[in-house]
Chains A and B, each alone.
Chain A
Amino acid sequence: MAARRTPLNEAHRRLGGRMVEFAGWDMPVQYSSVIAEHEAVRTAVGLFDVSHMGEIEFTGPGALESANALITNDLSRCADGQAVYAGLLNDEGGFVDDVVAYRFSPERILIVVNAANKDKDFAWMQARAEGVKPVDRSDDFAQIAVQGPKAAGLVQRLTPVELSTIGTYRFSEGPVAGVPCIISRTGYTGEDGFELYCPPQQAEKLWDTLLQEGQAEGVKPCGLGARDSLRTEVKYPLYGNDIDDTHTPLEAGLGWICKFDKPGGFIGRDALLRQKNEGVKRKLVGFELTGSGIPRHGYPLLHEGQRVGEVTSGTMGPSVKRPIGMGYVPIALAAEGSTFEVEIRRRAVPAVVVKTPFWKKS
């Protein structure tokens, strides 16, 4: 099957984007240089096409209750106009996906899911939702992430919506560059910024205007390469690498997205409580190499000659300028300062567990 194209596909090609298949979509991995794009987001502003993400909606009386029972976080404790990061878990507590859930009102909830998981998630929600059933709205939205310290200044020039009233993980609705948008102060880079959801037909107008208007800020279109290095430096997990159906939020250090005392609980809660009582046996840690090399997904983690885990994500961090990685290790090796080795091309390269995020915005 041919890879799907977002409404911005032609724009990416015009900009010289190098296209690769990702999660069944034809997406730009980079335009000019991953490092330059990464730096633009850390110091100015970058644009990402994230239209491949899926959007699943619950509407009508009981929408909140129905959606809330599926996710680990608690929409009942949110205000309208607030979003939460959450897990969808299986009965064993493993991740079906990690999502962002938007509360427009108790009668309208939008759950944004990973592209690779969209069909699986939708079927899972259909099967598990009691009361209001979800609708797959993915084809009704394009999504552009505007990320970086100069993102707010740029978007503000293009919208009458007062952005200073939209806090982190809050959202509003209004026109940007004349295009009706959900304006969400969220992202996957560790920087301030917005994710703009708009009708696909008008995505290119929004993209082009942001690029043109953003020249004053030094805007750059950014591909999946920079998206990955940016999120790795702040230890945001990537589904399929750092979290999956065999790893729980407690192991991933995401206990904070699980609201154990929320009314009605959530799927996977019992398994997590069991794991909590028995004690978590492995943890996702961030580490730095103290020898030379770059840790990569799948490389073995060694301790005293034994394989104790593997690298789930790793790169040469363009901002931290060090080789960094994440991986699950036995709890005895999870504390800051613990040491083990990463096997790189048959060499055991020493590594040390460090405080994360690796990079923090100033």
Chain B
Amino acid sequence: MANVPSDLKYTKEHEWVRVSGSSAMVGVTDFAQQQLGDVVYVELPKEGDSFGASDEFGTLESVKAVSEIFAPLAGKVVKVNAALVESPDLINMDPYGDGWLIEIELADSKQTDGLLSAAQYEALLREGGE
């Protein structure tokens, strides 16, 4: 069973978002890393890149598969998890901690209303037959 921390927001694309003030930390969920398997390569944007909500902003690759990752919210990238270049497996080991992907400066800090709560995300996983 996948771990779904209650203090985070989620997307249907299996990303998590930790909003604090006008910025947000973004990663993929425990469920996503389980589905993906061992992550061996990560492609992330550069600091300063801007994205609209739902834009593809990077790629995670396992031995077997490629998965795109989508921006949960519109904004500008202010920090990228550089440790993932050398240790992409941090995403498997600690998806909600050291395996974070990027931090974004939100274009509109009120737009977070569209994100799922932990309970809603868990319901989504249950529907998916997880």
Contacts and interface: CB of A to CB of B under 8 A. Distances in A.
Which one of B40, B43, B59, B61 has the greatest number of beta carbons of chain A within 10 Å? B40
B40 A30 contact: no
B38 A34 contact: yes
B66 A34 contact: no
A33 B37 contact: yes
A283 interface: no
Contact of A345 (B37, B40, B59, B64): B59
Contacts of B109: none
A294 B40 contact: yes
Interface of A: 29-30, 33-36, 38, 225, 228-229, 292-294, 296, 315-316, 318, 323, 345
Given A34-B38, A316-B41, A29 B59 contact: no
Contacts of B61: 294, 316
Nearest to A232: B63
Given A38-B63, A316-B61, A30 B37 contact: yes
B117 interface: no
Given A225-B63, A294-B66, 19 more contacts: A29-B64, A30-B37, A30-B64, A33-B37, A34-B37, A34-B63, A35-B38, A35-B40, A35-B63, A38-B63, A225-B37, A228-B64, A292-B43, A293-B41, A315-B64, A316-B41, A316-B61, A318-B63, A323-B41
Nearest 3 A/B pairs, CB to CB: A316-B40, A35-B38, A34-B63
For chain B, what secondary structure do more than half of its interface residues adopt (helix, strand, loop), or is it mixed?
strand
A34 B39 CA distance: 10
A315 B62 CA distance: 9
Nearest to A321: B40
B66 A315 contact: no
Nearest to B38: A35
A36 B38 CA distance: 9
A36 B92 CA distance: 13
Nearest to B64: A225
Nearest to A318: B63
Contacts of B38: 33-36
A78 B41 CA distance: 45
B108 to A, nearest CB: 29
Interface string B49-75: 000000000010111101000000000
B88 to A, nearest CB: 9
Which one of B37, B41, B62, B64 has the greatest number of beta carbons of chain A within 10 Å? B64
A173 B24 CA distance: 63
Contacts of A29: 64
Nearest to A229: B63
A294 B41 contact: yes
Nearest to A35: B38
14 contacts: A34-B62, A35-B38, A35-B40, A38-B63, A225-B63, A225-B64, A229-B64, A292-B41, A316-B63, A318-B40, A318-B63, A323-B41, A345-B43, A345-B59
A293 B66 CA distance: 11
Contacts of B41: 292-294, 316, 323
B123 to A, nearest CB: 22
Which one of B38, B61, B66 has the greatest number of beta carbons of chain A within 10 Å? B38
B5 to A, nearest CB: 23
A140 to B, nearest CB: 31
Interface string B33-47: 000011011010000
Nearest to A34: B63
A315 B59 contact: no
B77 to A, nearest CB: 18
Contacts of A35: 38, 40, 63
Contacts of A225: 37, 63-64
A228 B59 CA distance: 21
A293 B60 CA distance: 10
